Every structure is written in structure tokens, then in C-alpha cells.
Amino acid sequence: MTDFKDIDEATRTELEAAAFRRLVQLLRDNPQVQNIDLMNLACFCRNCLSNWLKDAADARGVELSKDASREAVYGMPYEEWKARHQNEATPEQAAAFSKGAGGSHA
């Protein structure tokens, strides 16, 4: 069995990209999972993924707007996704975000 670190760089990149695409599809397929819940549970959300995508583009000199990176993750313009799927945070969600993992996201 090959260790992940021993796989050639091009293949590793392909595998990582496939995992990223699968995660993004899972999030698109489950819009009922709110970003604040993701932040409180895992310290990242859809916006984080879109920011990381933009950061990667910037690092490679690829022009990618914040709106375009969000649309790549959300599968639609961000404002449309918010109007369709985003709920107001409950007091419990907001409190958890303020005191816990959500408040320390990147």
C-alpha cells in the first residue's frame, strides 16, 4: 500500500482536487446545512472554501474575483444562495459562534 506522501505530485493534486469537488458537491446538495453550523462544528464554511480558492488563484497569478470564487463553491451567485437557503442565526447558533470554534475561523 502506498503512503499518500509517496504519490507523485501531479497525482496528489488530482486526488486532492477530486476530494475538493466532492466536498463542494456535498455542500451544494445540502443547502439546509447552514454556514454558521459548519463554522460552529468544523471551523470552516462555504465562504471559507471560496476564500481559499481565491487565495490559491491569487498565489498562482490567476484572476478570480471573490464573486466568481463564491459562485464556484455555491453553484450560483452568493446573493441568490443566501436568498434561497440562508436562515437567520438562532440565538443558540450565534452564542456558540461567539464563544466557540466559529469565532476563530480563518
105 has a pLDDT exceeding 60: no
The domain locations on the chain are 7-104
The pLDDT tens digits of the residues spanning 24-45 come to 999 999 999 999 999 999 999 9
> Is pLDDT of 99 > 90?
no
Q: What is 7-104's CATH number, 3.40.50.740, 3.10.20.70, 1.10.3340.10, 1.20.120.1200?
A: 1.10.3340.10
Say if residue 102's pLDDT is above 80: no
Q: How far apart are CA 100 and CA 94, in angstroms?
A: 10
Answer whether residue 104 shows pLDDT above 70: no
